Structure 1
Amino acid sequence: MMARRASWLAGLVAAQLWLIVAVRGRFVVEKSSVRVLAPEHIRGHHDAAIGNFGVPDYGGTLTGVVIYPDKKATGCAEFDTKFKSKSRRPVILLLDRGECYFALKAWNAQRAGAAAVLIADSVDEQLLTMDSPEASPGTEYIDKINIPSALVNRAFGESLKKMTRTVAGDGDGDGEEVVVKLDWRESMPHPDERVEYELWTNSNDECGARCDEQMEFVRGFRGHAQLLERGGYARFTPHYITWYCPEAFRLTQQCKSQCINHGRCVRSPGCENAPAAARACVASVADRRRRWWVSGRYCAPDPEQDFGAGYDGKDVVVENLRQLCVHRVANESGRPWTWWDYVMDYKIRCSMKEKKYSKTCAEDVVTALGLDLKKVLECMGDPEADAENAVLSKEQEDQIGSGSRGDVTILPTLVINNVQYRGKLERTAVLKAVCAGFKEGTEPRVCLSPDIETNQCLHRNGGCWRDEATNVTACRDTYRGRVCECPVVNGVRYEGDGYTDCQAVGPGRCALNNGGCWSETRGHQTFSACSETALSGCRCPPGFHGDGHKCEDLNECSEKLACTCPDCHCKNTWGNYECTCKGNQLYIRGEDVCIANSMSKLGWFITLVAVACVAGVGIAGYVFYKYRLRSYMDSEIMSIMSQYMPLDNQNNENQPLRQHDSEALRH
C-alpha cells in the first residue's frame, strides 16, 4: 500500500514537472552583483546566484574580505576557529561546492564568523539557484541561517582562490586582501511607489516543517501586510498550486479522493496532430497552446499521506479555492487585507492538523469576518461539477512564469515585483525585501522600523547640514540609505544643497529660529536680521552692520553718521544713538540740526492761557450741546405720550362738558 501510494505521488509530481519543464518550463535564477575592489588588477563585476536560504540583504550592500580556508574548504564540517580579516572588515567566506547541502555550508560559515558566503561551482555551467534541503532530522539549522549566500561560476571562484592566500584562524596571511562588494540593490526591481507581491502557498497544514514555516510567516507578517495595503503602499495577491491527475489514473480511488472537478479529455480541432504524450491527456492548462487539454483535474496530495484515514487531497483543494475566493470577495468589498485574518482564524478554528476542519467551520470563519458568504460560494462554483473551474484554471495559468519571473515549482514561493524572492520565509527578511521594492525615498514608515533598518542619520547626521540651535536637519532616512535634502519644518521651507547649507525661505520663516539669521536681546530690546517682508536672506537691521548671520552695533557717533552738527553732542546706544544740543537749543533729528529755543516765560504764560481758553470754549460748547439735545428729546417724548393717554390739562377741559350733559339728561 505504501509503495503504491509513494509510486502514485511520485508519478503525479513527475507528470507535473514534465509539463512545466517540457512544455513551457523556465526557471529564472535571481542574481546579485559581486564587485571586486582589490587587488587592482582583478577589479570588475561578476554575477552571483542568490541562495534560497538565509537572508539576502535586498536593497543593501556588503563590503568584505574574501577568505578561502586551507582546511575544510567545502564547509561540510564545523570549523575549528573564527575567521577574521587583517583590516577588521567583515569576512566573506569562499567555499567549494560538493559533498553536502549548500545550506549546511552556509550554516558552518555563519558559526565561524562569516558575514556572507560565496560557493564556487565545481563545473563550467550556467548559474543555478542553491535551494535548501527538505526538512528532516539534522536540518534544523536551516531556519537559523541569517547570512546571505550566493553561487559563483567556476572561473570566477578559481580567480578568487588564486588571489587569496590561505588564511586560517587569526587571518595572518601574507598576501594582499581580496576585497569584494556584494550588491543587492538592483536584485529587487523598485520602479515606483507601490509594491506588488504574491505568495504561492497551500491551505494544508500537515506538511511538516514547511507548513509550520508558512503559518509562522503569516502570523508574523500579517500586521505589516495589512499596514502596507491599508495605506495603499502595496498590493498583495495569494496564489495556490494544484496538481493534475494523469488520464491513466483518472478513475482510480487515489485520483478521485485527491482531485475535484473530474472531467474528460477534451480535444480541440487539430488535436489529432498532437504528440503521443498529448493524446494520453497528461496535460495542464499550459498545453492549450497545443490545442488539447483536460477539463478539471485540480488535485492536491493527501494531507496525512494515508488515503484511508483523515482528510483527502480534495479537501485541501476545496479549501484552497475557498481562500482564493475569500481574497476576491474581500478585494471587491475594499478590504483585501481580510485574507490574512481569514487564514489565521482558519488555522485556529478549523485546522486539518488538529482534525477541526469542516465546510461549516470554514464558512463560519467567512461570516465572522463580515464577508458575503453567498458571494464566496458563487466564486467557488461546484467542486463536483464535470466542468472546468475558472478560478483554479486561472491559478494554473499564473503558475507559469512570464516576464522576469520564472515558473513557480515549489511551495512556498514569494514573488515581489514579478521577481521570485530568495531567502527564508521570515517576517523581517521578507519585509526587507518588500521595502527594497519601493522607489527610493517613497518607502512607508513601516520600512523604517529599527528591527530591519539602520538609521544612517544617527551617525554624524549622515554628513548632512544641521542647525544645532533648532536640531533641524537635512538628513532624511530612507530604506536604501540617507539622502541630504533641505527639509520643510512646520510649514517653513528650507533651500540649499543639503550638505553644507540650508536657508529658511518664504513666509513664517522668522518664527523658526529667526530664519537662521542673527538675533540678540539686551534688556527689553530685541533685534533680528530676519524680516517677514523679505522672503529670503538675512539683513542686519538699522543701527547694526554685518552679513545678517552676525550683526554688530553700528557706532553712529564715531562713524559720523548722525548728530554731526557743530552744536551737537552724540552718545552711542545699542542699536541707536542719542543726540543733545548745547545751551537751550532743540535737536531736530530728521534734519540733524540744533535750533534756538527763544521762548520767554511770558511767552509760555500766554501760550498756557490760550490753551486754557480754547479748552474752556470746548467744554462750554459740549455742555450746551448736551442741554439742547436733552430738551429736544423731552419734547419728542411728550408728543409721543400724548397720542396714547390724556394729559392733565385735557382732563380739566372736558370735566364741565360732562356735567352739562348730566343735567340735560336729568330734565
Structure 2
Amino acid sequence: MLLKKLKVLVLILTVGLSSVCARFVVEKSSLSVLSPLSLRGKRDGSIGNFGIPDYGGFLVGSVVYPDKGTFGCAAFEGDKPFKSKFPRPTILLLDRGECYFALKVWNGQQAGAAAVLVADNIDEPLITMDSPEESTDADGYVEKIGIPSALIERSFGESLKQALKKGEEDVVIKLDWRESVPHPDQRVEYELWTNSNDECGTRCDEQMNFVKSFKGHAQILEKGGYTLFTPHYITWYCPQAFILSSQCKSQCINRGRYCAPDPEQDFGEGYQGKDVVFENLRQLCVHRVANESNRSWVWWDYVTDFHIRCSMKEKKYSKECAEDVMKSLGLPIEKIKKCVGDPEADVENEVLKTEQQRQIGRGSRGDVTILPTLVINNVQYRGKLERTAVLKAICAGFKETTDPSICLSSDLETNECLERNGGCWQDSKANITACKDTFRGRVCECPTVKGVQYRGDGYLSCLAYGPGRCELNNGGCWSDSKNGLTFSACSESQLMGCQCPKGFRGNGLTCEDINECKERSACQCDGCSCKNTWGGYECKCKGDLLYIKEQDTCIERSGSKFGWFLTFVVLTVVVGAGLAGYVFYKYRLRSYMDSEIMAIMSQYMPLDSQHNNEASSEAQPLRQTSV
C-alpha cells in the first residue's frame, strides 16, 4: 500500500510542479562477452533492485542455461546443480515471465549460481527489476538474496542461448560494476530518502534497521570529511479543491501543502499523517542546525534515539519526546524550532518546499518514487539496503587510492577466499595464495612474498620470478631427498620456470627418476652390467675389468707376468739411467768447479812466488862479500 501511495504521491507532485510525467532512470552495469569470439563486445544490463550488486568490483563467470525450468519460478532439482566445479563461477541465464524477478534470482541462488541474468521476452528499452510488493511470501526470501542480478535485452539473450546450444566454446561473461557509481572527486556525496514513521510495515523496518546499523560507518566517514551526507523526506500536497477535506486536514500541514499517508491507514484512530510530516520536518531541521555547527553526524544519533525512545508502538511519538532527545544530545532546541516554523501557517515552509523540488529527478538521477531510496554521487543505489553492501557502494564512489581506511578494513572483507580459496591459485605447502579479499570483491593476483614476485594468471598458476626464488618453497618447483641426496628442479641461474635435473624427467613441478638401465641409455660397453640408482646409475664390468664412465668402456685392472717383467726391466733401466746420469753429472760438476777454483787461485799465487824469488836473489851477494 505504501508503495502505491508513494507512486501516486510523486505523480501528483510532478504534475503540479513541472507539468510532465514522472521520469525513471534505469541504473545499468556493463556486461562484456569474453568468449566466444563471435559475441565478444560490451552490452548493458539493468541492475536488479534487490540482492547485492558488486559495486566497485566485477565478476567473470561461465553462462549456463537450464535444460528445464528456464523461467526459474520453481526450485531447481538437485543439490546446488549450478554451483561451479571450476575456477570460474556460474552465471545463470533465465527467461522473463510467469513469476517475480526476485523469485527467479532466489531460486538461482539456492541452486548455486553466483549471479543471474534475466532475458527480456519482448523488444523494449531496459527496465529495472524491482522486488515484489509487500507480501508474506516475498518477505520470506527477498531479504535473503545475496547475489547480483540484471535484466538483459531479448536479442542479447537469444544470442547467448544460440552460443550455448552450439556448445563449441564456453560462454564467458564479465559483469562489471566498477563504473556504476561515478567518482568525480575525492569526496562521496550521498543522500537517503527515508521516513520517521515506524508503523508502515516491512519497508519502514528495513530503513530503520539500516540507519541503526550504518550509523557508526556514516559518522566515521563524515567526521573524517570523506563524505557529504544529506537526509531527505518525501511529501506530497493536497489539490486546492480538497484542502478543507478531513483527509487533507489529517494528513497535511501548512494548509495542505505538505502531506504524508496515515500510519494506520485509518483516519479515525491512532496517529495522523500530519504527525509524520511534522516529525520529518523536525529531523530535517536537526540535520540543518547540526550541520551549521559542523556536527552533521548528530542526525544519525537523533534518528536512532528517537526511534527507540519515541516509538509509535509505545504511543510516545510526540513533540515533547523529540525535545527530550534533543536535550540529551546537546542540540539547540530553539534554533530547531525556528527552522521548523509554524505547521499551521498558510505559508510555504522553506525546508519542505526544497524537499519537494529535490524529489524531481535531474541529470543522471530519476524521480524519487519509493522509500527507502539511497542516492550515491547522484546515481540511485540498487540492491539490498544493508550495512556492508551500502558501505561497499559508497567506497566504490571514491577514486582508487583515495579510499579512506574504513573501506580497507576487515569490516568490508568479502571472505570469498575462505571458500575454496576463492577459486584462485594456492601453494598450500608454503601458505602462499593469489586470492585477496577487498571491498571491491576477491581478486586473483599472483603475490609478492619476501621480495620475490610471482607471475601467472592468478587462477591456475603462479610461479616465482627472479633471484632468490629458490629460497621460497624451492620456487614452487619439485624437490626431493633420498639416501642423503637432494635434487631440485629450481635453479638460481634461471629467472623463472622449473626444469628437472639430470637423471630425472617431468615438467619441473613433478619429476621422476629415469631408469637409464631399462632405457639402454647407459652401460653400453661389451660385458657391462647396469644398476639403476636414484638420480643416476652404476656400471660394472665383468671379471676384474675397470669401468671408465667417460668413455663407457672397460679396461684390465691387472696385467700378465711378462707384462710385469717387462715393466720391471723398463723401470730398472730407467732407474739405472737416472743413477748413471746423476753420477756423471756429479763428477763433471766437481771437475768443473775445481778447474774454476784453480783458475781463480792462479791469478793470485804467482805474485807471491815471484816476490819470494826476488828477495832471495838480493840476499845472496851480501853473504858472498862478507865471506
Normalised to the residue count of structure 2, the TM-score between the two structures is 0.65
Q: Which of 46, 49, 54 is the equivalent residue of 1:52?
A: 49
What does residue range 246-261 of structure 1 map to in structure 2 within 5 Å? 246-261=239-254
> Which residue number corresponds to residue 157 of structure 1?
157
SS of the residue 2:325 aligns to: helix
What does residue range 381-420 of structure 1 map to in structure 2 within 5 Å? 381-420=341-380
Alignment of 1:40 onto 2:40 = no
Distance 1:310 1:400, change over 3 A: same
1:117 counterpart letter in structure 2 = V
CA contact (8 A) 1:443 1:478 kept: no
> Which residue number corresponds to residue 299 of structure 1?
259
What does residue range 357-376 of structure 1 map to in structure 2 within 5 Å? 357-376=317-336
> Which residue number corresponds to residue 92 of structure 1?
91
SS of the residue 2:412 aligns to: coil
1:450 positional shift: 2.5
1:249 positional shift: 1.8
Alignment of 1:316 onto 2:276 = yes
Distance 1:20 1:428, change over 3 A: farther
Distance 1:421 1:163, change over 3 A: same
Q: Distance in 2 between matches of 1:477 and 1:68?
A: 30
1:391 counterpart letter in structure 2 = V
SS of the residue 1:164 aligns to: helix
> Which residue number corresponds to residue 619 of structure 1?
none
Alignment of 1:79 onto 2:86 = no
1:367 positional shift: 1.4
1:42 positional shift: 1.0
SS of the residue 2:190 aligns to: strand
1:240 counterpart letter in structure 2 = Y
SS of the residue 1:139 aligns to: helix
1:135 positional shift: 2.0
2:32 counterpart letter in structure 1 = R
Distance 1:477 1:52, change over 3 A: closer
Q: Distance in 2 between matches of 1:107 and 1:91?
A: 15
Deviations 1:576-598 (A, max 9, x none): xxxxxxxxxxxxxxxxxxxxxxx
Q: Which of 232, 250, 269 is the equivalent residue of 2:225?
A: 232
Q: Distance in 2 between matches of 1:480 and 1:139?
A: 28
Distance 1:98 1:22, change over 3 A: farther
Distance 1:11 1:142, change over 3 A: closer
1:191 positional shift: 2.3
SS of the residue 2:136 aligns to: coil
What does residue range 15-164 of structure 1 map to in structure 2 within 5 Å? 15-16=12-13, 23=20, 25-81=22-78, 82-85=81-84, 87-140=86-139, 141-164=141-164
SS of the residue 1:331 aligns to: helix
Distance 1:374 1:56, change over 3 A: same
Distance 1:392 1:21, change over 3 A: closer
Distance 1:373 1:241, change over 3 A: same
What does residue range 626-641 of structure 1 map to in structure 2 within 5 Å? none
> Which residue number corresponds to residue 194 of structure 2?
201
2:38 counterpart letter in structure 1 = H
What does residue range 491-570 of structure 1 map to in structure 2 within 5 Å? none
Distance 1:440 1:118, change over 3 A: same
2:43 counterpart letter in structure 1 = H
In angstroms, what is the RMSD of aligned CA positions?
3.4
Q: Distance in 1 between matches of 2:111 and 2:439?
A: 32
Alignment of 1:184 onto 2:181 = no
Alignment of 1:347 onto 2:347 = no
CA contact (8 A) 1:68 1:165 kept: no
Distance 1:21 1:261, change over 3 A: closer
1:399 positional shift: 0.9
1:17 positional shift: 6.4
Alignment of 1:245 onto 2:254 = no
Larger Rg: 2
CA contact (8 A) 1:476 1:483 kept: no
CA contact (8 A) 2:3 2:370 kept: no
Distance 1:328 1:153, change over 3 A: same
Distance 1:11 1:247, change over 3 A: farther
Distance 1:137 1:7, change over 3 A: closer
1:11 positional shift: 6.5
Deviations 1:361-393 (A, max 9, x none): 011111111010000000011100000000000
Distance 1:227 1:6, change over 3 A: closer
Greater shift after overlay, 251-260 or 350-359? 350-359
1:479 positional shift: 4.9
> Which residue number corresponds to residue 654 of structure 1?
none
Q: Distance in 2 between matches of 1:335 and 1:6?
A: 33
1:359 positional shift: 1.0
Q: Distance in 1 between matches of 2:117 and 2:238?
A: 41
**Matched length:** 440
Normalised to the residue count of structure 1, the TM-score between the two structures is 0.61
Q: Which runs of 5+ in 1 are unaligned?
A: 167-173, 263-295, 469-474, 488-495, 501-667
CA contact (8 A) 1:456 1:477 kept: no
1:192 positional shift: 2.2
Q: Which runs of 5+ in 2 are unaligned?
A: 431-435, 456-627
Q: Distance in 2 between matches of 1:329 and 1:11?
A: 32
Deviations 1:188-220 (A, max 9, x none): 112222111000011111110000000110111
CA contact (8 A) 2:109 2:147 kept: yes
CA contact (8 A) 1:457 1:482 kept: no
